[in-house]
């Protein structure tokens, strides 16, 4: 169910939510957090779809802030999505204009779930300092997605310069399975020093840079990046050791081959992770991702831009 509320107020939105709850049942019970999504000028539907899917694991209230396309004085258009249009959440789409755009925290506060954690997500372009943004200051976790930025690598450096505990990036989450597989291979004998690491992948994909930064930080070895135009994200990680190379190769974006000295080749399902599963993973934890912070601030400086 979608309810349109043009030229409204947050008070009227809350009243309408209470009315729908009384008529349709306790739709707000069991919500575990408030997810604020700031989409700027972009269409919010892709982000809403991902949030709806993630809400089946993390029931929440989703508040979407989208720029008003009309040149008007202070005005608020809203849309409430419930039931089949909202997954296991309730979605409020707000389109503020005029003075309201400059006071987003004041606009959102009356709509927050009481006594529930707040997560803010920027699915497209990111602020210079997420923790100091009005929507970021109120959040326990702040999620960005540099893969969707116009200049992904520059965005990574911006995040590194302004990192605060609670920040994370979905480009880091997309490399989680790669990091797990590489760590597992290094936990097996022979326990040799890695002399050099090579990460190959799409030329501007920030997951490639974060994977290289993680290896540089964790292994304290030289790391080289091979940038391939139009490749499917990360395509290969190669670790050079005295006894022979460890190679994790995924040229098609679906299945990886793990090759190690004196062992048969292993085929591993390693599809490119979808937005909804990355978002769901990040909503599972509300504490600081300390490894991400170390890699972003220290590991990224060890590799070439």
What tens digit of pLDDT does each residue of 171-185 get?
A: 999 999 999 999 999
Secondary structure (3-state) at 35: strand
Give the pLDDT confidence score for residue 267 in this predicted structure. 97
Nearest to 64 by CA among 75, 53, 80: 80
Nearest to 101 by CA among 77, 129, 131: 77
* Domain spans of the chain, in order of start: 2-144, 172-302
Q: Alpha-carbon distance 90 to 42, whole Å?
A: 21
Give the pLDDT confidence score for residue 89 in this predicted structure. 80
Parts of the chain with a pLDDT under 50: 26
Cβ neighbours of residue 275 under 8 Å, at least 6 residues apart? 46, 50, 123, 145, 170
State the residue for tokens 């979808």. 274
Give the pLDDT confidence score for residue 73 in this predicted structure. 74
Is 232:203 a contact under the CB 8 Å cutoff?
no
Give the pLDDT confidence score for residue 71 in this predicted structure. 67
CA atoms within 13 A on the CB side of 280: 16
Give the pLDDT confidence score for residue 119 in this predicted structure. 98
Give the pLDDT confidence score for residue 27 in this predicted structure. 54
Query: Superfamily assignment of 172-302 in CATH?
Result: Dihydrodipicolinate Reductase; domain 2 (3.30.360.10)
Give the pLDDT confidence score for residue 148 in this predicted structure. 97
Give the pLDDT confidence score for residue 20 in this predicted structure. 85
What tens digit of pLDDT does each residue of 73-115 get?
A: 789 999 999 887 767 789 999 999 988 888 899 999 999 999 9
Cβ neighbours of residue 270 under 8 Å, at least 6 residues apart? 177, 178, 181, 250, 254, 255, 256
Structure-block tokens of residue 129: 């300092």
Cis omega (within 30 of 0) on the bond before 10? no
Secondary structure (3-state) at 96: strand
Q: Could you tell me which CATH class the domain 2-144 is placed in?
A: alpha beta
């Amino acid at each position: 169910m979608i309810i349109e509320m043009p030229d409204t107020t947050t008070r009227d939105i809350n009243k309408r939510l209470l009315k729908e709850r009384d008529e349709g049942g306790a739709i707000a019970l069991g919500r575990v957090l408030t997810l604020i999504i700031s989409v700027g000028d972009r269409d919010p539907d892709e982000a809403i779809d991902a949030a709806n899917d993630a809400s089946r694991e993390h029931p929440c209230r989703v508040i979407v802030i989208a720029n008003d396309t009309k040149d008007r004085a202070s005005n608020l258009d809203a849309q409430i999505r419930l039931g089949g249009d909202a997954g296991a959440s309730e979605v409020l789409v707000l389109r503020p204009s005029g003075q309201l755009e400059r006071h987003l925290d004041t606009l959102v506060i009356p709509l927050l779930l009481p006594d529930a954690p707040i997560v803010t997500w920027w699915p497209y372009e990111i602020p210079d300092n997420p923790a100091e943004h009005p929507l970021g200051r109120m959040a326990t976790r702040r999620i960005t997605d540099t893969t969707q930025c116009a200049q992904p690598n520059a965005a990574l450096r911006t995040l590194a310069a302004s990192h605060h505990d609670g920040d994370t990036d979905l480009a880091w989450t997309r490399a989680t399975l790669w990091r797990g597989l590489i760590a597992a291979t290094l936990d097996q004998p022979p326990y040799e020093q890695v002399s050099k690491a090579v990460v190959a992948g799409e030329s501007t994909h920030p997951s490639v840079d974060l994977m290289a930064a993680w290896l540089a930080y964790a292994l304290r070895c030289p790391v080289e990046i091979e940038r391939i135009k139009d490749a499917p994200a990360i395509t290969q990680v190669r670790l050079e050791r005295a006894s022979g190379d460890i190679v994790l190769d995924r040229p098609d974006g679906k299945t990886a081959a793990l090759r190690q000295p004196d062992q048969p080749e292993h085929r591993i399902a390693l599809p490119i992770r979808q937005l909804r599963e990355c978002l769901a993973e990040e909503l599972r934890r509300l504490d600081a991702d300390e490894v991400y912070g170390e890699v972003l601030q220290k590991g990224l400086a060890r590799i070439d831009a």
